[in-house]
Amino acid sequence: MFMISIFTSLLTYFVGVYVFSLKRKHLLMVLLSLKYIVLSLFMLIIIIQCDYDYFFPLYFLIFSVCEGALGLSILVSMIRSHGNGFLNSFSLSLC
């Protein structure tokens, strides 16, 4: 059962990396795939760290929530300034 859990968490991690590498067109898809990767890593941490310190997974969740809030705020500001969330329309030369 332990190996099946590790296999499923690694499979979800690689699916998230696959979606992240293929769907780079829209910022929301990038953020969703990053959140999928973070949740699969959290599942892997919980599986491996069965009886040890429980503070690290808590800190990991806190930082992942902060990362999600920061990504959504960037998405909202990008939609307000450029009109859409496509990464192709966002140019760094405008800064």
Domain boundaries along the sequence of the chain: 2-94
User: How many angstroms separate the CA atoms of 36 and 19, rounded?
Assistant: 10
- Residue 40: Cβ within 10 Å count: 20
Q: Which residues sit opposite 86 in a β-bridge?
A: 26
Q: In whole numbers, what is the pLDDT of the chain averaged over residues?
A: 83
The mean per-residue pLDDT over the stretch 63-91 comes to: 80
Q: What does the radius of gyration of the chain's CA atoms come to, in whole angstroms?
A: 16
Cβ within 8 Å of residue 34, ≥6 positions away = 16, 20, 67, 71
Q: Coil, strand, or helix at residue 72?
A: helix
Specify the pTM.
0.79
How is domain 2-94 classified at the CATH fold level? Helix Hairpins (1.10.287)
**pLDDT greater than 80 at residue 89:** no
Average pLDDT over residues 67-94: 76
Q: Is the pLDDT of residue 94 over 60?
A: no
* Phi and psi, residue 65, nearest 5°: -70, -40
Per-residue pLDDT reduced to its tens digit, 45-54: 888 876 677 7
